[in-house]
Structure 1
């Protein structure tokens, strides 16, 4: 859908109804991926593509049919025709399934909100129900970068919370995907397939301190979907060869680099230097920024000394309360790899408001709903 965001945004702002055809499933050598879309407005203007040309004519006719009537959303499958190579089908031999639905912007103001964000370069996600009960097929929900949910659902509908939680999680890591929701709980008893269209850069993990723990943590950060930067003031240690899993390796004073780089509420900052020369000016600055997580490595004695130095530097108590130190969950970690896992686990728990408690000692839902930032 977001491949044609600019035009859809214009149509929504102008209040023009349109039919939207979205690729929801592919197999074989189908030419375009899941999530690609084609749209047709009431004037017959068509934008986008679902197959690179093979089945566009048939999909266009379906769009026209839904635009002129009150037909509900429909799914159609297209595959290769062995009998007639010129029949409607994919000449490449693959198969694709398309969801076609009519969208009236007056009924979907939340879609305009999401497209406003996307076309302005800000993160947003649109969740589209592509399989499930007939009355929910094609329903759309939007989530903006601050985690706020926008939809056209009736208050109290069971599916909204479950879909919103999955959408926020994918937006957080900047990934589009098809997810299965519900069917196993009273919170969302219906089994739904949801296609989440995400517009977002990867969240950033800033690691300060070019040590062996930083190498292990950069692997975990990359695995979790972060864009990883390792920064250290010592050029001899801050080299790409020592940190092959980092996207960027920077030789600069940590506080100076942090002052010049971009951060947002999804950014996590991990201070591994446990050297007051670097830590204090860096944490003084980091704790005042609108980032998602700030953690610092060191013993409890180092932590108490660090807090005292930060207080003397004028850091207010409400900022100190944001500091995760000693960094990581209590997993009994010793090696750099084990420590990196404990730090990654704490970041996950913080991002999703988890307790870090073993699930065997808890009751209730396993997956937490995230509240907007």
Structure 2
């Protein structure tokens, strides 16, 4: 949903109501996860997607209907065994959507939520999906304040307590409460959608491969920084416009930079004087992925140098080297795809094997 917020803010600021459909739960092989969104605005303009095309036509009509009558709806779409051409998910999954009208009158929380997302400030947005509370009612929760209401002080307090634990992890999903906030599964269903700042990708080594990796990192939603100690190579012109470019010794930059369990580190320096002290620093701090470019011989020599510097086996086991999956990549762009594929597989536990050889659900 993050990617459509800028246009939605424009509609909202202009006072133009729009219908917002949000995926609140999925089962089996649904193509989009909770939080995916599609909006229908002025002149029937459509933004976003909730199913990759399977049910968008039906959702379009629902979004127009909620704007017309002002009433939010919850709808579930799934594959129809009786009629394969019926509206549903041809992949065999099931998706439940909350479709609601958004305007300054219908939702006073939207503008500030959108502003926080744009400013990369953590916020959790809660919406009533089902139950005696008003469907589509919203509550926005920041670390230090709350805006809106789900319809009752007890319910608001319980959701606020849960939401305050969500933004750091970017968690999104359904919660169940009683009408006064009790922990019950048979009364009010609330969808919590947390927006954390984008995860970071740190690319070290201003070589041609770095520009390609930085570009695909942006595409995947990372906030990308490229760092190298050589000013002649480390110029913004060589990299995509949104990429931060830093001239500094890589290990010094990393030592002064915060990382967390979502951070991706790609070491493309391919030079022991840069990558050994850098990897020593990287392997001893939080990160989701640490990959280093080089041949198998380079990798063996690099590991030996790291052991000499006291890096332990558990730390070395975190290192993905040579970096990337075996795609037969040759060009910098192909290598970037290989690296990105390994990052995605690491994040979600994918095997990296062709789907034609695998059984089970396609979408995790």
Q: TM bucket by the smaller chain?
A: 0.5 to 0.7
Q: Which residue of 2 aligns with 1:115?
A: 164
Q: Which residue of 1 aligns with 2:202?
A: 206
For 1:346, which of 328, 342, 347 is the aligned residue?
A: 342
For 1:52, which of 85, 98, 104 is the aligned residue?
A: 104
Distance 1:125 1:330 in 2: 32
The structure with the largest alpha-carbon Rg is 1
Kindly indicate whether the alpha-carbon contact (under 8 Å) linking 2:19 and 2:40 is maintained by their aligned counterparts in 1.
Answer: no
Does the C-alpha gap of structure 1 residues 294 and 153 become closer, same or farther in structure 2, counting only changes over 3 Å?
farther
Does the C-alpha gap of structure 1 residues 351 and 153 become closer, same or farther in structure 2, counting only changes over 3 Å?
farther
| Alpha-carbon shift at residue 101 of structure 1 (Å) | 5.2
Kindly indicate whether the alpha-carbon contact (under 8 Å) linking 2:172 and 2:193 is maintained by their aligned counterparts in 1.
Answer: yes
For 1:305, which of 276, 301, 314 is the aligned residue?
A: 301
| Alpha-carbon shift at residue 261 of structure 1 (Å) | 1.1
Distance 1:127 1:342 in 2: 31
For 2:218, which of 201, 219, 222 is the aligned residue?
A: 222
- Asked if residue 252 in structure 1 is aligned to residue 304 in structure 2, the reply is no
Does the C-alpha gap of structure 1 residues 310 and 71 become closer, same or farther in structure 2, counting only changes over 3 Å?
closer
Kindly indicate whether the alpha-carbon contact (under 8 Å) linking 2:20 and 2:102 is maintained by their aligned counterparts in 1.
Answer: no
Does the C-alpha gap of structure 1 residues 273 and 75 become closer, same or farther in structure 2, counting only changes over 3 Å?
closer
Give the gaps of 5 or more residues in structure 1: 1-21, 35-48, 57-69, 77-99, 129-138, 142-150, 161-193, 369-373
Kindly indicate whether the alpha-carbon contact (under 8 Å) linking 1:110 and 1:152 is maintained by their aligned counterparts in 2.
Answer: no
Give the gaps of 5 or more residues in structure 2: 1-17, 22-38, 49-100, 109-130, 138-148
- Asked if residue 127 in structure 1 is aligned to residue 209 in structure 2, the reply is no
Q: Which residue of 1 aligns with 2:357?
A: 361
Distance 1:223 1:308 in 2: 35
| Alpha-carbon shift at residue 242 of structure 1 (Å) | 0.6
- Asked if residue 331 in structure 1 is aligned to residue 344 in structure 2, the reply is no
Distance 2:172 2:357 in 1: 35
| Alpha-carbon shift at residue 107 of structure 1 (Å) | 9.2
Distance 2:329 2:160 in 1: 46
- Asked if residue 27 in structure 1 is aligned to residue 79 in structure 2, the reply is no
Alignment partner of 2:234: what SS? Answer: coil
For 2:237, which of 241, 260, 274 is the aligned residue?
A: 241
Does the C-alpha gap of structure 1 residues 103 and 115 become closer, same or farther in structure 2, counting only changes over 3 Å?
farther
Does the C-alpha gap of structure 1 residues 293 and 54 become closer, same or farther in structure 2, counting only changes over 3 Å?
closer
| Alpha-carbon shift at residue 55 of structure 1 (Å) | 9.0
Q: Deviations over 1:26-73 (max 9, x none)?
A: 53339xx99xxxxxxxxxxxxxx95224898xxxxxxxxxxxxx8454
| Alpha-carbon shift at residue 154 of structure 1 (Å) | 5.0
Alignment partner of 1:206: what SS? Answer: strand
| Alpha-carbon shift at residue 112 of structure 1 (Å) | 1.1
Distance 1:274 1:55 in 2: 52
Out of 238-247 and 302-311, give the one that drifted further. Answer: 238-247
| Alpha-carbon shift at residue 115 of structure 1 (Å) | 2.6
Q: Which residue of 1 aligns with 2:227?
A: 231
Distance 2:107 2:340 in 1: 45
Distance 1:362 1:72 in 2: 44
Kindly indicate whether the alpha-carbon contact (under 8 Å) linking 1:230 and 1:246 is maintained by their aligned counterparts in 2.
Answer: no
